[in-house]
Amino acid sequence: MVINLEKCKTIMIQGTASHAGKSLMATALCRIFSDMGYKVAPFKSQNMSLNSCVNESGDEIARSQIVQAMAARVKPIAEHNPILLKPKSDNSSQIILMGKLYADYTVKEYYKTYIPQLIPHIHESLEKLKRNNDIIVIEGAGSPAEINIMDGEIANMYVAKYLKAPVLLCSDIDRGGVFASIYGTIKLLKQEEQDLIKFFVINKFRGNLDLLTDGIKQIERLVGKKCLGVVPFIQDLRIPAEDSVSLEDKRSQGIIKIKVIQLPRISNFNDFEALEWEPEVHLSYTSNPDDLKDCDLIIIPGTKNTINDLSWMKQKGFFSKLRDLKESGKIIVGICGGYQILGEKIIDNAIEGDLDKEFSGLGFLPIKTEFKAYKKTTRQVISRMIGFPQFNGLLIEGYEIHMGEITYLSNAHPLLQIEGELNANKEFDGAINETHNVFGSFIHDFWNNNEFRKKFIQFLASRNNYKNVKVESKSYQEIVEFNIEKLANSVRNNIDMKALLTELGI
């Protein structure tokens, strides 16, 4: 049943800090409202994240809005996340505007030069979503009480004031100081902004709820806001994470040991969640090359700055360690930027750095990467394995997000052939060495391909003589869907939905 409201309703989720549960609360509400029969749209005006994804139109938006669209049962569109900022260094980032590469900027330039150019796209996106939906669930960014940038921010109270949207403030009790964070956040805001906050929620609670009762009553009196509920910590919640803060929480156990090199500018670490969720896999991240010797698979992940992270790997001693491990037969895989690092050379025509330079890669694959122009490939792809005999013929679906073009050098063996309409150009992706223990690909979500992943886990088990290894019976997509339902049920059962609906006028 679909219910159409006469006027689109909006609810905004803000937080006392990053990782306070805003994204998950927005995801839960998208599913709850969808279950009620409403047409729902997620929205985040500006997201700073290196975890992004590509929709059917080739638009790049943050992974969190992709997940929220899944929860809302709608296709993700650029309007769900009109501005995506992808950090390249401590002082510069890349702007993705309406799903397309727009510009690089420094922090000083952003507020003065770029924000005036970006604001109209926020307004246009919201107006389009309002015309086509019953409810918009809006996620803020970080905290609205960052007093050094409050006058120039466009992701929190700017949006709430533009829409006159009621705000639900999320706080994280798991990290401590929850009452101080609620009080401080609200009291640092201007009065008109305080007035927009209608409720607060305490997230990630463990223990006896009775111990919180007196504190909740006191903080309600102090800030003049109602506690909408206390949401318990959900153990082993398998929903793609938004940012690298969540890497601190990652834990997995199993006999098959996989190490992901934690590059300084690691991007799209969601690529490895499907592996992490396998029952027989122990996946962990490391910035120490000595940790690699006892693992069964080494992954070099994507990066927002291939050149800088390549230099970091050399300085840390990863190059010499990986060369030894490769000769011993260890399996080494590179995804996107990691794939480029596996090659013989990278030529940067002042795209990633300030000068034209040539850099030596690991030299494990006979490929060359060249950053020729300020352009970016973003597309969904379907490909077929052709270079790895044990898996040839299997389909690999995913998406590409990368700068730079690959040239195959002599004796190169492509890993995949692109299928479908793109196959008219006889395109290939990836490469594999002659001994089949090193390969790489531009394709993100590589391990989400269920048949390939399960067979690859069994391949690793057989190769290392591990007996009776089991693989996950559910597909990656089924796991995410099941956990969205688990999250929505937890929120539904632990917050005052009647009060929230009354505030929305539903």
| Catalytically annotated residues | 336, 444
Contact 47, 87 (CB under 8 A): no
Strand partners, 103: 95
CA 272 to chain centre: 11
Q: Let me know: does 60 contact 83? Beta carbons within 8 Å.
A: no
Angle between helices 306-316 and 318-327 in degrees, nearest 10: 80
Sign, CA torsion 254/256/259/260: negative
User: DSSP state, 173?
Assistant: G
Query: 4 Cβ partners below 8 Å, 6+ apart?
Result: 39, 134
Cα–Cα distance between 502 and 9 in angstroms, integer?
Answer: 12
Say whether 217 sits in a helix, a strand or coil.
Answer: helix
DSSP symbols for 285-327: EES-GGGGTT-SEEEE-EES-HHHHHHHHHHHTHHHHHHHHHH
Residues 6+ apart with CB under 8 A from 393: 384, 385
Cα–Cα–Cα angle for 186, 188, 191, nearest 5°? 75
The residue behind tokens 């003049």 is 224
Question: Please, which residues have CB within 8 angstroms of residue 289's CB and are 6 or more apart in sequence?
Answer: 316, 317, 318, 320, 321, 322
The distance of Cα 50 from the centroid of its chain, to the nearest Å, equals 6
HSE toward the beta carbon, residue 298, CA cutoff 13 A: 31
> In whole angstroms, what is the distance from residue 343 CA to residue 448 CA?
24
Q: Is residue 156 within 8 Å of residue 46, measured between CB atoms?
A: no
- Cα separation, 186 vs 26, in Å, equals 20
N residues, the chain: 506
Do residues 28 and 71 touch, judged by C-beta distance below 8 A? yes
Count of alpha carbons within 13 angstroms of residue 7, beta-carbon side:
6
DSSP state of 264: T
State the Cα–Cα distance between residues 500 and 492, nearest whole angstrom: 11
